[in-house]
Amino acid sequence: MWMAEADQVSELVGDIYDASIDPRLWSRVLEQTCGYIQGIAAVLVAHEATAGSGELYFSWGDDPTYTESYNRTFCKINPLIVPMFAQGTPGDILAIGDLIPYDEYYTSRFYKEWAAPQGYLDTIHLILEKSATAFASVAVARHERHGLVDDATRRRMRLLAPHFQRAVAIGKVIDLHNAKATTLADTLDGMVAGMFLVDAQARIVHANASGHQMLRDGTVLEGSAGRLSAIDAQADQMLREMFAAAHEGDAAIGGKGIAVPLTVNGGDCWIAHVLPLGAGSRRQAANSPGAAAAVFVCKAALELPSPLETLATLYKLTPAELRVLFAVVEVGGVPEVAPILGISETTVKTHLQRVFDKTGASRQADLVKLVAGYMSPLGG
């Protein structure tokens, strides 16, 4: 059974990396993911946590009617979004029970009107990335026949997590919407990010124009004796291990260096992502038979603290208080909020009073102004 699972994981990981350069494959990847970890539907989705909106990029197994209703209505009252945004960090694997109590979730309007009619009992989420105002995740819904998310489900998602994260990061760099597997070789040379094709010994097989410029500058990378190396010794060791692992196959690269930081003099930080090229479709797309991996290098983006994290930290709000705060701001008064969150009006009032006490606000309008101030880049 273990060998059968190993073969299944190896094939799935390979398809995840193929999808990083050919987005048409994501639906198949999500279908395979459902089969591996036992789920009925899966999505790759991004949520603007503070705007109550979501963007579904790829999906499998979902009902189009319910998907449309989610985008139109239910994403705004999904009780999981705020705690996931406030508590989750990239790489986290979270079930519903990790975010809010199950009994609270099962009494919410979201569950009763959207999840329950589809037979969704639980969902396992993998946080892929997170910015100041949004996060992206892979979510797999568990049907009632599958039961709640258990240790086996978490273990399987944990095996896939680093590969999903790396594939999505690489897809962003090469532009999923424009790069197809059949045109990747042409796309690479026009990229702003530095790109290198290397063999298992770090020998440079090919570099794009930006990559050659990086080597000439010599501040982040160097190419002495035709081998790619990082100026940062620790990062260089990580890259060499990844190149060697990539030569052994997709699954072998494992969780090594989802994003390898390349620190340079002056404090700037660059990021390297490594895409294994062992599979035929990726090797053919790169048009370099001797290459074991593609390396994408770009300057790290500024990461700002999220408004939710700032509010929660500053005022020492609990996850339950934070949910009530944003529900009141987005939806309205206590009678409207209670059925959406699946808790009693008395409980809403209790949490709301604690929010008032902690923030110093005395009216609901004050809370709206408070939150709006933190959403604005000029807020103080």
Q: In the predicted model, what is the mean pLDDT of residues 41-50? A: 87
> Could you give the 3-state DSSP secondary structure of residue 373?
helix
- By C-alpha distance, which of 333, 334, 336, 340 is closest to 82? 340
- Domains, the chain, ordered by start: 2-174 (3.30.450.40), 181-299 (3.30.450), 307-375 (1.10.10.10)
The whole-number average pLDDT for the span 72-77 is 89
Q: What angle do CA 336, 340, 343 make, to 5 degrees?
A: 95
What's the order of all strands across the beta sheet hosting 194-198?
A: 204-207, 194-198, 293-299, 269-276, 260-263
Per the CB < 8 A criterion, the answer to whether 134 and 49 are in contact is yes
Cα gap 18→372, rounded to integer Å: 41
Write down the pLDDT at residue 286. 55
Query: Does 279 have pLDDT greater than 70?
Result: no
Residue 110 has pLDDT above 90, yes or no: yes
* Residue 257, both tokens: 């260096």
Tell me phi and psi for residue 148, to 5 degrees. Answer: -70, 160
What is the pLDDT, as a whole number, of residue 281? Answer: 59
pLDDT at 340 over 80: no
What's the whole-number mean pLDDT along residues 200-224? 92
The secondary element (H helix, E strand) that includes residue 304 is none
Token pair 């026009």 is found at 190
- In the prediction, which pLDDT does 309 show? 73
Which token pair is 365? Answer: 């309008």
Gap between the Cα atoms of 126 and 157, Å rounded: 8
**What is the overall mean pLDDT for the chain?**
85
Q: How far apart are CA 15 and CA 10, in angstroms?
A: 9
Tens digit of each residue's pLDDT (9 = 90 or more) over 159-190 = 999 999 999 988 877 654 444 444 455 556 66
% of the chain residues with pLDDT over 70: 85
Percent of the chain with pLDDT over 90: 44
The segment with the largest mean pLDDT, out of 46-55, 155-164, 172-181, 283-292, is 155-164
Instruction: Report the pLDDT value the prediction gives residue 329, as an integer from 0 to 100.
Output: 75
Look at the block and give the residue holding tokens 């030569």: 247
